[in-house]
Amino acid sequence: MRRKRLAILTVVVLAILPLGTVKRTVITAKTLSQYPQKYQRTWYHYDNNGKFDTVEFTAKSFKAVDRNSPHRLTDTMTLHVRSVNSRFFKRSRHPQWGAARLVGKHHLRLTGWNQPEYTGANYHVEQRRYQQQTVTVLTQTNSVETWTYEHYFTSQSLAKLIGNAHFPGDVYATSY
């Protein structure tokens, strides 16, 4: 009986002993330090009103200009690195700062510096078919990718040609 208790005690001690000696590594995920190369350019969208909306990515900046509203709307953001898990209400206030991270393999999520995770907008670049031609398209979706806002193209002429065309498989948030 005593041997059985000693054997059980030995097994329990050997099972617990490694817990105190295991080295724990904490990996802190960071946001991107620059936008991926395939995004870095000026992209164009045309709404048949004679004006082009633009989205421009450089290595560390983002600028969106909406010329279709009664007043020209401009959104700018300078990219900065932060921990993905940082609490947005504890960050210092920087209205022109933003963060970006890749979501999945192909989607880029942009958030303002003081926005919580899962807000902001997603963008992705892909090859789409339009009238039997392959075109490169920047698509803007909401942050959970349930609907598409707009498509942007690599040139003004292409944006004017395609306009507000809808692509199969996308659910659109607006009714144009």
CA angle (122 as vertex; 120, 128 as ends), nearest 5: 160
Number of structural domains (the chain) is 1
* Dist CA 56 CA 39 (whole Å): 8
Residue 16 lies in a domain: no
Reference 47, options 140, 173, 152, 170; nearest CA is 152
Residue 19 lies in a domain: no
Least confident of 38-47, 74-83, 122-131: 74-83
Q: Which amino acid is at 1?
A: M
pLDDT exceeds cutoff 60 at 21: no
* Dist CA 155 CA 135 (whole Å): 11
Domain limits at 65?
Answer: 37-162
Residue 18 lies in a domain: no
> Judging by DSSP bridges, how do beta strands 42-46 and 52-57 pair with one another?
antiparallel
pTM of the complete model: 0.77
Tell me, what CATH number does 73's domain have? 2.40.128
Residue 11 lies in a domain: no
Residue 22 lies in a domain: no
Better-predicted residue by pLDDT, 43 or 98? 43
Place 48 in a pLDDT band, splitting at 50, 70 and 90: confident
pLDDT exceeds cutoff 80 at 59: yes
Reference 40, options 160, 154, 131; nearest CA is 154
